[in-house]
Structure 1
């Protein structure tokens, strides 16, 4: 059966008439705006924010388009990637009927969003080497499976998922395959964005929170076919990205050289950190990383975590997560932060 987007959509979304805002109805510049019931006098702060922002964030999408090589019509911007994830559930999954597949250990918001939307999750754990179990994924798919979530590089395991395996799923699954590339800037693998014309059932998630250093602005990106992006725009709130975030994102997107320099330094520090940690007696194994963090299997994850907390150093204890037993997830910090971490771990070991 060939992929058909219309077959995936919920009936209420097919017939949805989106809210039409004042800024949807008028585009362009004018000297007098009396259409949106804004405060015409301004804002009680230095920068005026009394006008509603562009509901489709065209200036930001245009700049992202230049950087990513994707037309603006194939880009959705959300309040973090979490908004895009939630919209996928609301647009394509019928509560209490449909299901999605996740491949744990993976990013926790897929499950949270499924639970909020009353959509069943079929969990197909990764293999011991943190790669996809293709046979079990194929066995889990039924007529009500709408989405498959694949995080690559994966959180919390840090590795990239085998590209051929992902392409096998894209080619054989009639639902949407969502590839979460939050950490792609740190990876040796190329993005799946370049495959959008090849696979009409592909949705790629990225973010400005990691390599771009804008976690506080909450701007996530989804890249997909024009038809899928149109559905995102139909379902989203009218002004989901505020004006301040749009302005600051545009400013950041013009500083690509700084971001690239930070990426290189982060990768250098990551390899240095891996090398140093490997010599510690409390470290059992360090898993391969294509991200800005590493997963470290230790002799005493909880003890080390608490010891670090007492010294003002916070890492993530992932020891209760399936296939991550005894492991800590450690973000690559600045050289100074990494040195403090190493010294603390050495004193724990001593």
Structure 2
């Protein structure tokens, strides 16, 4: 596959903006910077941040065992997804393939960029209908979005299904691994070099407990990363975000211990949910949330709101009729949730 054939002509012809910090990348010690029209009075954030986030990428490179040349950072995963649309999809001409029920931003970004949408619903077990996915794609199908573990269902897709789609789809395949750290399945990062059309997105918002700093991560071939770097905003990751990410990633075993706690709580929560009379099904999950089927999702959602508990009502999503999505909280939060679910069982 020739990736260059998939890039929009206007993007291939684009000359990227060169910021002041892009043009000078030498040793910064004892240098006087008068190139970027910054306020010279030092307060910790008066200078522009590193536009390529060098220190942070080195840390992620070591954690994930992947070259910094294969990493792009975004202001949340949503910015990364938007950049992918802009790089590969021609407005009012191309289309994407999505697998509902899935993360809603794929459709939002497609509409925002005037890109068509082809939908192939997951089967009753929330697994992709691989042959249908490949058959629905046409010459203008530039992107295929695979969310695994999937949101809102929580399950991982089989490796066989994903491999068949990645191997046979004629465009770019984006595997969204926002919840991979809670899964027993291996990340597709380990096979990135096998597939030139593969992009893997991850985030620090979930397992790494940094939703507030908005930091998404894109892993792809050096060729794809170069394309996305061409069109990303020059200073898309601010100084405070970079510093906070480095600070927390430096805390030994912090994420590992929190993931272990969440998985323990997830098991305990699922066990307790089995006692709720109006929950008819608890779906398998590889994420930090549990999808459950209830008798009346709208009624139960409103009852929980009245009791001060906010969950997600997913009943409008394909295959998720009368389903509620429950995030795994702290032991105290989960205890409150179960007690409340039991208390409303007769109403």
TM-score of the two chains, using structure 1 as the length reference: 0.97
Name which of 314, 321, 325 aligns with 1:325. 321
Aligned pairs for 1:21-170 (under 5 A) are 21-27=19-25, 28-29=27-28, 30-43=30-43, 48-170=44-166
Q: SS where residue 165 of structure 2 aligns?
A: helix
Alignment partner, residue 299 of structure 2: 303
Aligned pairs for 1:174-193 (under 5 A) are 174-193=170-189
1:150-197 superposed Cα distances (whole Å, 9 cap, x missing partner): 000000000001111110111112211100000000001010001111
Name which of 188, 198, 202 aligns with 2:198. 202
Contact 1:4/1:174 (CA < 8 Å) preserved in 2? no
Q: SS where residue 235 of structure 2 aligns?
A: coil
Take 2:86 and 2:202, find their aligned partners in 1: how far apart are those partners? 20
* Residues 60 and 286 of structure 1, relative CA distance in 2, 3 Å threshold: same
Aligned pairs for 1:266-281 (under 5 A) are 266-281=262-277
Q: SS where residue 190 of structure 1 aligns?
A: coil
1:135-163 superposed Cα distances (whole Å, 9 cap, x missing partner): 21121111111000000000000000111
Take 2:154 and 2:256, find their aligned partners in 1: how far apart are those partners? 20
Say yes or no: does 1:18 pair with 2:23.
Answer: no
Take 1:73 and 1:217, find their aligned partners in 2: how far apart are those partners? 23
1:6-53 superposed Cα distances (whole Å, 9 cap, x missing partner): 11000000011010000001013142100000001134xxxx200000
Q: SS where residue 196 of structure 1 aligns?
A: helix
Alignment partner, residue 7 of structure 2: 9
Take 2:253 and 2:182, find their aligned partners in 1: how far apart are those partners? 15
Aligned pairs for 1:250-289 (under 5 A) are 250-289=246-285
Take 1:40 and 1:341, find their aligned partners in 2: how far apart are those partners? 52
Alignment partner, residue 336 of structure 2: 340
1:58-112 superposed Cα distances (whole Å, 9 cap, x missing partner): 1000000000000000000000000110011101000010000000000000000
Alignment partner, residue 232 of structure 2: 236
* Residues 256 and 176 of structure 1, relative CA distance in 2, 3 Å threshold: farther
Take 2:96 and 2:310, find their aligned partners in 1: how far apart are those partners? 33
Take 1:195 and 1:84, find their aligned partners in 2: how far apart are those partners? 20
Structure 2: gaps of 5 or more residues: none
TM-score of the two chains, using structure 2 as the length reference: 0.98
Following TM superposition, by how much is the alpha carbon of 1:256 offset from its aligned partner in structure 2, in angstroms?
4.4
Take 2:309 and 2:277, find their aligned partners in 1: how far apart are those partners? 20
Following TM superposition, by how much is the alpha carbon of 1:303 offset from its aligned partner in structure 2, in angstroms?
1.1
Q: SS where residue 204 of structure 1 aligns?
A: strand
Q: Runs of 4+ in structure 1 displaced over 4 angstroms?
A: none
Structure 1: gaps of 5 or more residues: none
Following TM superposition, by how much is the alpha carbon of 1:134 offset from its aligned partner in structure 2, in angstroms?
1.0
Contact 1:81/1:219 (CA < 8 Å) preserved in 2? yes
Following TM superposition, by how much is the alpha carbon of 1:258 offset from its aligned partner in structure 2, in angstroms?
1.4
Contact 1:89/1:114 (CA < 8 Å) preserved in 2? yes
